[in-house]
Structure 1
Amino acid sequence: MKRRAIAPVETQAADALSELAAALSGLRTPEQVRAFLEDLCTPAELEAMSDRWRVVPLLEEGVPYREIHERTQVSVTTIGRVARVLERGAGGYAAALHRRGLRHR
């Protein structure tokens, strides 16, 4: 009997992420996306993602880290991580900024 090869964990995770991205892209309104995220994520995960997103436009405006922290209460460490991803990540933040009408440097 011929055995089927089982996909490596990395491939399974990449496929699952692609499926998640497809599910999100199929939603039509912010309300649908919000409902999906509320079903998918814990309150702590939603808070962490929301915090990161709140930081992105401020970094884009060139607001200093300490001022961002004072305005948002997001940790300076998280702000630094978001800044690194904004500069060297996969381009998702830049795409979202562009779609929201905010320019990426």
Structure 2
Amino acid sequence: MSEREAARMPSGKGNDHWDESYLTELFEALRSIRDQGEFSRFFDDLCTPAELRSMADRWRVAKLLDQGLSYRVINEKTGVSTATITRVARSLTYGTGGYRMVLQRQQGEQGE
């Protein structure tokens, strides 16, 4: 099983009931969100504060890596562990292109 496939599997008991369609339903729910306020409300209900901080940390690291900052500087600037920085860097280099796609879109919007 690949790392990506493993990431899609829920942890804990009851894995026999996991179905990929649940992930598709979540993605469809996200597509229905209309603005930042709705995103905030949905994610506040969906995630714990720690999960939200972790996702925000990973996004911040992706942006800093894209700017060319070193792992050491990012660690000092953010307090994010080098393990997380390495994981984000690996995704930027070998992942599915999701980080890169959104980074480029945001850069395009800032240039307009």
TM-score range, shorter chain: 0.7 to 0.9
Aligned length: 93
Misfit runs of 4+, over 2 Å: none
Match of 1:53 among 48, 59, 70: 59
Q: Mark the runs of 5 or more structure 2 residues left unpaired by the alignment.
A: 1-15
Q: CA deviation at 1:59?
A: 0.5
Q: 1:37 — aligned with what?
A: 43
Q: Mark the runs of 5 or more structure 1 residues left unpaired by the alignment.
A: 1-7
Q: CA-to-partner distance for each residue in 1:34-70, whole Å, 9 max, x for gaps?
A: 2111100011111111110110111011100000011
Q: Please state which structure has a larger fraction of its residues in helix.
A: 2
Normalised to the residue count of structure 1, the TM-score between the two structures is: 0.81
Q: 1:3 — aligned with what?
A: none
Name whichever of 62-71 and 18-27 sits farther off. 18-27
Give the aligned CA root-mean-square deviation in angstroms. Answer: 1.5
Higher relative contact order, structure no. (Cα contacts within 8 Å, ≥ 6 residues apart): 1
Match of 1:18 among 24, 28, 49: 24
Q: CA deviation at 1:99?
A: 2.3
